[in-house]
Amino acid sequence: MQYFGTALIRVLFIATLSLVAGFAHAELKVGDMAPDFRLEGSDGKSYQLADYRGKQAVVLAWFPRAFTSGCTVECKSLAENGEHIRKFDVSYFMASTDPVEKNAEFADETGADFPLLSDPDGEVATSYGVFTRGFARRHTFYIDVSGVISHIDTAVKPSTSAEDMIANLEKLGVAQRDS
């Protein structure tokens, strides 16, 4: 009987810790400062959000898993329409909890002409409120030049992700680059 009581207490303790951890990072909303990050990209470079502050807007498109159907469609959409996205003064990234080696292979296979960022421990995904069951939910964060979240797309459609990103950049009034 004592073993059962100890086991029950242990289960309740773990469940409580899980709930507390889930609430530790409140859901981000428009107007919040975007959490800083430093993540390795598929191109072998390291990217830190703070490096863009005061210089350029950033789009961070979280995706669940490399080489899955929806993620492949989304990545190809962005790759095939990169010239239209790059008309804006913005740096854009896709990010997942996959290891950098897997994202590098995925970038090669899909023809991605932009970095895919890797967050294998899920720490940054957690700070953005997208980490769940070992992977990131498909959400796209639009971060203005001052580092503030200006839009969050929680209903990303992989097949129109590039067109939707372009429409959102226009709607948000992100500056266009000089041709």
Local structure of residue 148 (DSSP, 8 states): B
Q: How far is CA 4 from CA 15, 17, 39, 45, 100, in A?
A: 16, 20, 44, 52, 44
- Collapsing DSSP to helix, strand or coil, 110 comes out as helix
Q: What is the CATH number of the domain that holds 122?
A: 3.40.30.10
Q: Which residues of 80-90 are buried (b: 16+ CB within 10 A; e: fewer)?
A: ebbeebeebeb
pLDDT band per the 50, 70, 90 thresholds, residue 178: confident
Whether residue 11 is contained in a domain is answered as: no
Residue 41 included in any domain: yes
pLDDT at 173 over 50: yes
Asked if residue 112 is part of any domain, the answer here is yes
Q: Which domain holds residue 36?
A: 28-171
Please report whether residue 53 resides in a domain. yes
Q: Please, where are the H alpha helices in 111-149?
A: 123-127
Quote the CA–CA distance of 27 and 22 in Å, as a whole number. 10
Q: How many domains does the chain have?
A: 1
In a domain, 21, yes or no: no
176 is a domain residue: no
- The residue annotated as part of the active site, out of 34, 71, 136, 169, is 71
Output the pTM of the full model: 0.85
Whether 51 is covered by a domain: the verdict is: yes
- Is 71 noted as a catalytic residue in this protein? yes
Classify burial at 57, counting beta carbons within 10 Å of its beta carbon; exposed 0-12, middle 13-18, buried 19 or more.
buried
Q: Which range, of 19-23, 42-46, 82-86, 174-178, averages the lowest pLDDT?
A: 19-23
**CB crowding 97-122: b at 16 or more within 10 Å, else e:** bbebebbbbbbeebebebbbbbbbeb
Q: Is 46 inside a domain boundary?
A: yes
pLDDT, position 26 = 61
